Amino acid sequence: MIQSVKLSKLVLSDINVRKKRGDVVESFAASIAANGVLQNLIVTPLKKPRGHFGIVAGASRYLGMMLLVERGEINADDYDVPVKLMTGADTQLSEVSLVENFQRENMTPADECRGFHLILSQGGDVDALAKRFGVTRRFVEGRLRLATLAEPIFEALASGKITLDLAKAYASTESHERQLLVWNSYGTSSYQSADTIRRVIANESMKSTDPVARLVGADAYTAAGGVVDRDLFSDSGDRWTNPEIAQTLAAALMEAEAKRIGEERGLAWVRPIASSSTWEAARALHRVALPTLPMSETEGLRVVEIEARLDALEQEMADEDIEEDAFKALDQEDDTLRAELQRLLQRPSVLPPELAPRVGVFLTLSHDGAMVIDDTYYSETPLRVTMVEPEEGGEGEADGDETGDDADTERQGSSGSTFRIEEGNGGSVSGKSADTDPDTAAPGGKALSQVLLDQLSVQRRDVLGAALIANPGLALDYMLFVMVDERSGHHGSSGTSIRAPRPQDPLLGNNVPGSRARDYLAEVHDGLDASWLGSSEKVTRFEAFRGLSDEAKSTWLAWTVATSLEAKDGYTTRQNALQNRLATILEVDVASWWRPTSENFFDRVSKGALLSLLDEVGGPALSGRHASQKKTEISGSCQKLFAGEAIVETEIKEAALAWVPSAMRFNDVAAAPDDDEGEGEDDLTSLIGDADDDEAADALNIGPDDGEDADAGDIELGDEQPGSVEHENDDGVNDALIAAE
């Protein structure tokens, strides 16, 4: 039965299972102040103090009422609270508290959004609503924004397919078009995150804190038709959804200011850039170092006077008998004189009036949106300005009376100083410089601008490329030469991006045990035709390389490619699929090139792994024979067995000679082409001519020399090779070996 109890008769009880109240107390206080207590509390009578009741469920509502008491909005002695009285053991009452809290179902964010939207649609006020529910105005506005999400996104929120954070990310813009554009790309994908969604939505907008936005101002932007998206769910600031409007307005402001400054200073140009950095814009220009204003005779005499006085002060201050007050006075004078000397020695730069029409500056934008003139001057051609000492009796005037555009190399500045302006690589403006590169000069001898030179360089490159396409033989010579020339230790530009650098191995070469394959690669290198390497000139080496036979070029190609292979893909442990396919085409038998030894394998795994391996190749009899031995003894026995040197049954010897660990196998899982006749041979055959397989092998010098018997490890290109031997349980043994490392 529900009855009323005065608020002053209620106290918190330890029986209540909910201890953490969070931020709900303020909300309850606001709700109770507006609507009263809508749901009764559950209480139990207390023995002490008599007449009081302990709160079993409803502590947050109680704390909300006490907050109103503290604020003076209600009186605890007069305020009636609806309660349901329950009695029983503490355990029973705790269970009631648990059930009351456990079965309570909080409103979902979607329900909150619908509720706020419904109240306000019937004439409610945002501020009043926020006050009644004890939340901020921004919280209410955020729920209203969520309530107006594009329908598919709101339904996903309501059904729990997306989180509240994701919904807030989509609601960072009011535009349904932009919301749906991103939603259709990401939807409920598991790869999406709130940060990703917010970043994608923001890509086509501009922050209100962007320097361009600050320069233009929100009023001018909205007056021009721009739309502001308020971000109610983060502190990153509002976003402008029409950045092109802001950029157009900013460009007009900066261009007008640039024109004013250019006319005021008489400069050739003032270029506005909406950035605080001029690095990119100035890349194709030449920085002009301005001369500094020389000292006047009076200033020079003052410098001499100060330096003399500083020397005297140093001697006076070195006197150990000097009074403290006198020392302080001398020290202060010393500081003052040094500051004056520094000002005199730091000479200001001078822009000669005759130089102004040939140079320009950048008008930049600071982070707070202010337009700032960069104090560095640039020109489109190299310029050097130097001060000229006037000759005796010349009063600083240059000889002669030439008046042509390029005639006056020495001119008197407005300050009375005479300057010489030189163009290009030190040549004066009066004529073509002797140091000017004729390949970079325009008609008349002046140097071309760097931008034009770069454009012409690209176009010249394209002309050469178009011509080279018609001569694939020369292109092949060029490609091979560039790759092998760099590998041979010659550096310097070869005019192409083609490279065949040595692979980036995961460890140094001296940390890798030797193998037959590595020795063979070294032998092939020693047999290469190196006659073309004699000259120090790249062009001479190229012509000598072109003169090599097709067989010699082919061998260089094969060796360069063979020694360019990467050991693994970056920092991963996975194999490279294309390398595995090459191994299948070549029918590589790893066991014929590499055998496990104590150094490279057996000493590196556990005793258990070695016994498992012996059991695999020879059965329990072989592994049991070594079970009582030490690991070093087993390792030595394995080295002999897997090298074919142990006296064992034929089938055990064959299995041991064929075995390699999984990490040494080429695990090709790609499907072979239907018609694989001549697979992998066409390109090589076209390189060395229409030769059969044996001739190709001879051309590449791969395999044993003529007249010698090939042993099991020799590989001849074009000859059939036995495939690697597979065993049913090899993977299990190899997994054990790898796990033991």
Which has the minimum average pLDDT: 54-68, 87-101, 422-436?
422-436
The yes-or-no verdict on residue 264 having pLDDT over 80 is: yes
**What is the CA angle 437-440-442, rounded to 5?**
110
**Half-sphere exposure of residue 53: CA atoms within 13 angstroms, side-chain side:** 25
pLDDT at residue 338 greater than cutoff 60: yes
More confident call, 250 vs 734: 250
Question: What mean pLDDT is predicted for residues 595-611?
Answer: 88
Residue 408: per-residue pLDDT = 41
pLDDT at 440: 63
- The rounded percent of the chain whose pLDDT value lies above 70 is 70
Average pLDDT over residues 272-295: 84
Distance CA(606)–CA(612), nearest Å, equals 10
How many other CB atoms sit within 10 Å of the CB of residue 454?
A: 13
pLDDT at 439 over 80: no
Higher pLDDT, 19 or 515: 515
Range in 44-58, 358-372, 630-644 with the lowest mean pLDDT: 44-58
Residue with more model confidence, 439 or 491: 491
Question: Which amino acid does the sequence have at 299?
Answer: E
3-class secondary structure, 540: helix
Is the pLDDT confidence value at 398 over 80? no
Report the distance separating Cα 43 and Cα 13, nearest Å.
Answer: 9
Region 651-656: mean pLDDT is 93
Does the pLDDT value for residue 712 go beyond 60?
Answer: no
Q: Is the pLDDT of residue 704 over 60?
A: no
Residue 605 has pLDDT above 80, yes or no: yes
| Region of poorest pLDDT, from 96-105, 138-147, 193-202, 339-348 | 96-105
Query: Which range has the worst mean pLDDT, 402-411, 491-500, 710-719?
Result: 710-719
Phi, psi of 240 (to 5 degrees): -100, 120
What confidence score (pLDDT) does residue 702 get?
Answer: 40
Burial class (CB in 10 A: 0-12, 13-18, 19+), 493: exposed
Average pLDDT, the chain: 75
Tokens of 373: 């003139």
Mean pLDDT on 558-568? 79
| Per-residue pLDDT at 405 exceeds 60 | no
Q: Is the pLDDT of residue 151 over 90?
A: no
Q: Which comes out higher in pLDDT, residue 633 or 199?
A: 633
For the ranges 80-94, 168-182, 383-397, 723-737, the lowest mean pLDDT is seen at 723-737
Residue 109 has pLDDT above 70, yes or no: yes
Cα-based torsion angle of the residue sequence 286, 289, 290, 291 in order, rounded to the nearest 10 degrees: -150
Q: What is the pTM of this model?
A: 0.36
Tally Cβ neighbours within 10 Å of residue 273.
17
